Amino acid sequence: MGVLRQMVAAENRCVDLAPQSRKTVKMSNEPFPQLKYCVRCCLPETVEGITFDERGLCNGCNSSEQKMRINWEERERTLREKLEYYKSIAGDGYHCIVPISGGKDSCYQLYMMTRVYGMRVLAVTFSHSWFGETGRWNLENALEKFDIDHIMFTPKRSLVNRLAKRSLYTIGDSCWHCHAGVGAFSLQVAIRFGIKLLVWGESAAENGTKADYAKPILFDEQYFQRISAKASIEEMAVDDITPEELWMFRFPTSKDMQAAGIEGIHLGNYVFWDDERCVEFLKREIGWREDNVEGTYKGYKSVECRMAGMHDYLKYLKRGFGRATDHATRDVRAGILTREEGFELVKRYDSKRPDCMDYYLGITGLEEEEVERTIKALRKGRACELD
């Protein structure tokens, strides 16, 4: 009943606030008073792709309401039919590829594909070269527990360091090589091995500002370019980075994709996705481990990467929110936190300088002042009013 009362109170607050001006209803504990925030969750107007309806609700909150009204049994039947089809055409080969990092999502994908649906899986890892001890243990443990074949590609350290520096200037974070590599390498392996299906984890609609459950984003050769990579090989191959070094980051062409007959799906579009339940299940089922993750109050998201805190801190500098905002928003929507409690966590964690900043400065040769100046110069719209 507590959660229900919170949901009703949130809905009433949205209705009451809609006709009023932002100046008269501004919440006192919102991190940046100059920004507009969703009246239900913790997302500010600087989130990429965010929109607000007439009630002041963001499209992410509306997507979360869609999620609660979906007939998930029907969608799961559709998934089973799809998987049976790919089994039938695979012959002696693999039924699907599961890209795996060792994080909670990809480990849960492996469980679902092997233990629930009986798929013959090839696990594929693009190594970001920033594994921490816990992350590497989780990856190796999952591969052993689910007893599957595995391919990993690790780019050379010097290239990762140069790309981490170039990434700052092109897309405003340190992680282009990971954003692009995860998608490109998995697709290249699919084409080379003749595997028709790639199975990813949570839906792009889970956060709800780039897609929603009613209109999923088409998975094609441009999917990762639009969603995460943001910059092409041609934009990255400058100065001390050559195009020849980036061949593994090149996405197949539309012609290649069509000829190969590749389909990519997200499990979160077919089964109800719940981060908290996934984590608790994996801890119980295979001993999956959490750890301290910089920039947030949860210990599971991106635990496989020791540089996650850098990525999220740069997002905070550029847009005024970080990973604690992402986590608090989900918890508020789920009724785990009140909006006010969420904002208190946001203010405690988002703005904290991560220890991994020192590592980033060391591998790139940059000064911290240059990093901050570069990121702030990339601000757009209302984000320019931060500070």
| Cα gap 362→380, rounded to integer Å | 28
pLDDT on residue 321: 97
Q: Which residue has the tokens 């049976």?
A: 84
Least confident of 10-19, 90-99, 305-314, 354-363: 10-19
Whether the Cβ atoms of residue 347 and residue 15 lie closer than 8 Å to each other: no
**How many degrees, rounded to 5, is the angle at CA 216 between CA 211 and CA 222?**
85
Residue 3 buriedness (CB in 10 A; 0-12 / 13-18 / 19+): exposed
200: its two tokens: 């990813």
Q: What is the pLDDT of residues 242-295, one digit of tens each?
A: 999 999 999 888 888 889 999 999 999 999 999 999 999 999 999 999 999 999
pTM: 0.88
d(CA 182, CA 299): 22
Q: State in Å, rounded, how far the first CA of the chain is from the last one.
A: 40
Contact 153, 250 (CB under 8 A): no
Model pLDDT for residues 109-156, shown as the tens digit of each residue: 999 999 999 999 999 999 999 999 999 999 999 999 999 999 999 999
Domain edges within the chain: 72-269
Q: What is the pLDDT of residue 13?
A: 38
* pLDDT (tens digit per residue) in 154-202: 999 999 999 999 999 999 999 999 999 999 999 999 999 999 999 999 9
Q: Of 3.60.15.10, 3.40.50.620, 3.40.50.2000, 3.30.499.10, which CATH number belongs to 72-269?
A: 3.40.50.620
> Distance between CA atoms of 305 and 296, rounded to whole angstroms?
14
